[in-house]
Amino acid sequence: MTQLNNGITLFFSLLVEAMPFLLLGVIFSSVLLLFVDEQKLLAIIPKNVVLAALAGSLIGFLFPVCECGNIPVARRLLTKGAPTAVAIGFLLAAPTVNPVVFWATWIAFRDQPEIVFLRVGFTLIVAI
Could you list the mean pLDDT of each consecutive 10-residue stretch along the chain, which spans 128 residues? 88 83 82 82 88 91 79 89 93 88 87 92 91
Flag whether the pTM goes above 0.85: no
Please tell me the predicted confidence (pLDDT) of residue 114: 94
Q: Cβ of 25: how many Cβ atoms within 10 Å? A: 24
Residue 31: phi and psi, rounded to 5, are -65, -40
Residue 66 φ/ψ region, left for φ over 0, alpha for ψ in the -120 to 50 degree band, beta for the rest? beta
Please check whether residue 82 is in contact with residue 90, taking contact to mean a CB–CB distance below 8 angstroms: no
Please tell me the predicted confidence (pLDDT) of residue 21: 77
Between CA 102 and CA 124 the distance in angstroms is 13
Between CA 60 and CA 125 the distance in angstroms is 14
Residue 101: phi and psi, rounded to 5, are -70, -40
* Structural domain boundaries enclosing 109: 2-127
Nearest 10 degrees: CA dihedral of 76, 46, 98, 67? Answer: 40
User: Structurally, how many domains does the chain consist of?
Assistant: 1
